[in-house]
Amino acid sequence: MTSPLPQSDDNPDQQDGLGETLRTIVMAIVIAMCIRTLAFEPFNIPSSSMVPDLLIGDYLFVSKFSYGYGSKGTFWGVLPFSGRIFSRDPKRGDVIVFKLPRDGKTDYIKRLIGLPGDTVQMRQGLLYINGVPVQLQKLATPVSEPGEEPSQGVTDYLERLPNGVTHVIRKMGEDEPLDNTEIFEVPPHSYFFMGDNRDNSQDSRTVNVGFVPEENLVGRAEILFFSLDENAHFWEVWKWPWAVRWDRLFKKIN
């Protein structure tokens, strides 16, 4: 008599199902990483240097393809190459995320003020580009969120850059530490950035930042997709109904 063959405890259908699930997860991770690396990457705002346009607790998407791809801002800096691939010139007034030149790793977000070949200077709190002062229009009251009291001791202005881009800046006075500077001459293939909160921003006016090489550009800030006030952390979902700044969701960044 022939003995029956031993049966395996493994279920082929279960193995196929597990393998398919793992393949789906891996594919989803690869797609997500490709989108994050080449298309859009999320960032959050940790400081007040871009107030009043960007607030602490804002979460935004940055388009990685806007200016092409540089060695510092793409593939986590592991691919060594100079310059940028598919390079496109940024425009004055763009809000841009870049890698801090000092370490090539820290993400900063500022507004592009000076292009290659420009001269930039602050005199008594007024911005001069190529020797010409920018146009300023004082706002009646500082910009504030709905339901919030306007900030005290500050003045907001509508600033108009030479190419016509307008945005709101915030100032505490005309004689703050960065209100009077030397003349900065922007080198080739580099850019000069400033924060909209002019008297509370570490930017190209300081030795900590200085001129930003083109390969350090990460991308252009495009849209706010989420925003929490400073009294709540992202993981504190039970606070969201009261802490989310609902009016800021899906706001385009100017």
pLDDT, mean of residues 100-119: 95
Tell me the residue ranges of DSSP E strands in 115-247. Answer: 119-123, 126-129, 132-133, 135-138, 155-160, 166-171, 184-185, 190-194, 212-213, 217-227
Quick check: 221 pLDDT over 60? yes
User: What is the band of 5 on the pLDDT scale with cuts at 50, 70, 90?
Assistant: very low
- Give the 3-state secondary structure of residue 113: strand
Contact criterion met (CB below 8 Å) for 170 and 190: no
Regarding pTM above 0.75, the answer is yes
Q: Which pLDDT belongs to residue 150?
A: 75
Q: Which pLDDT belongs to residue 30?
A: 60
Q: Which of 64, 110, 201, 204 is catalytic?
A: 110
User: What is the band of 25 on the pLDDT scale with cuts at 50, 70, 90?
Assistant: confident
pLDDT in tens, 192-215: 999 999 999 999 999 999 999 998
Question: For 74-78, 170-174, 217-221, 249-253, which range has the lowest pLDDT when averaged over its residues?
Answer: 74-78
Known catalytic residue at 138? no
Question: For 94-98, 233-237, 248-252, which range has the lowest pLDDT when averaged over its residues?
Answer: 233-237
Q: Which pLDDT belongs to residue 10?
A: 55
Contact criterion met (CB below 8 Å) for 95 and 203: no
Instruction: Tally the C-alpha atoms within 13 A of residue 21's C-alpha that lie toward its C-beta.
Output: 6
CATH topology of domain 20-118+188-248: Umud Fragment, subunit A (2.10.109)
pLDDT in tens, 172-186: 988 899 999 999 999
Q: Which pLDDT belongs to residue 233?
A: 86
Quick check: 189 pLDDT over 50? yes
For residue 96, count CB atoms less than 10 angstroms from its CB and return exposed for 0-12, middle for 13-18, buried for 19 or more: buried
Q: Kindly tell me the sign of the dihedral angle through the C-alpha atoms of 199, 204, 209, 212.
A: positive
Instruction: Report DSSP state, residue 87.
Output: -
Helix, strand, coil share (%) of the chain residues, nearest 5? 15, 30, 50
Cα of first residue to Cα of last residue in the chain, in angstroms, is: 85
Known catalytic residue at 110? yes
Quick check: 111 pLDDT over 60? yes
Q: Which pLDDT belongs to residue 2?
A: 47
Q: Which pLDDT belongs to residue 224?
A: 95
Q: Which of 49, 71, 190, 204 is catalytic?
A: 49
Quick check: 11 pLDDT over 80? no
Domain boundaries, given as residue ranges, for the chain: 20-118+188-248
pLDDT, the chain, mean: 86
User: What is the band of 249 on the pLDDT scale with cuts at 50, 70, 90?
Assistant: very high
